[in-house]
Amino acid sequence: MKDDSKSRYDQFNWWLKNNPVTASLLLIGALIIGLSTFTDSAQNLLSFVIKEQRPDINGEWTAEVQYDWTKTRYTETFEFEGEADVAFGTASFLSRDQSILEGHIIKNQIRFVTKTEEFSGSLDNVREAIHHYTGTISGDSIRFILQTEGGFSPHTPVSFTARRVSSQ
């Protein structure tokens, strides 16, 4: 039987000695709190439990794109592959397939680059154009903004929506 004359500290020690499971849980909790105070271990532990799922973009997509220098609309195709936060494949530009470079997916955002050559007047006058794609993934559509740098003239951003090609 407990002695009522003991201090709270003595009573707490008695309770811990007689409840080893609770004592173990308190010790583990104190260690986690202590570690997370000095490191990002709590964030790392949480990332093991909660994994953000990569959007399902692998496959073929198409978009009608009107570039900033022409009134003609082009049907462009995108073939995405990859896993985790990496994306690769092809993206057409003026209906010609280009390799996807530096492809990354973070949450519902996709970013990648393609490169093309622009000619002016002759085949000897060539410059590289770099096309930066940024897209927001929402189900079976991706809302893109395309920004082009380099080449022979400045370009304004072009917005378009790509849609998944249904597999039948």
Q: What is the CATH number of the domain that holds 79?
A: 2.40.128
Residues 40 and 107 in one domain: no
Burial class (CB in 10 A: 0-12, 13-18, 19+), 142: buried
Tell me what pLDDT residue 167 has: 67
Close Cβ partners of 63 (under 8 Å, ≥ 6 residues apart): 75, 76, 78, 144, 160, 161, 162, 163
Give the residue with greater pLDDT, 166 vs 131: 131
What's the number of domains the chain is made of? 2
Residues 149 and 106 in one domain: yes
pTM attached to this predicted model: 0.68
DSSP of 118-140, one letter per residue? EEESEEEEEEEEEEEEEEEEETT
The answer to the question of residue 1 being in a domain is no
Residues 139 and 108 in one domain: yes
DSSP 8-state code for residue 43: H
The 3-state secondary structure of 65-91 reads EECCCCCCEEEEEEEEECCCCEEEEEE
Distance between CA atoms of 118 and 72, rounded to whole angstroms? 18
In one-letter notation, the amino acid at residue 21 is V
DSSP 8-state code for residue 166: P
| Per-residue pLDDT at 105 exceeds 60 | yes
Give the residue with greater pLDDT, 33 vs 51: 33
DSSP 8-state code for residue 167: P
Q: Which domain holds residue 157?
A: 59-164
Residues 81 and 136 in one domain: yes
Band (43; pLDDT cuts 50, 70, 90): low
Residues 64 and 114 in one domain: yes
Ramachandran bin of 84, using left for φ above 0, alpha for ψ from -120 to 50, beta for the remaining angles: left
The answer to the question of residue 146 being in a domain is yes
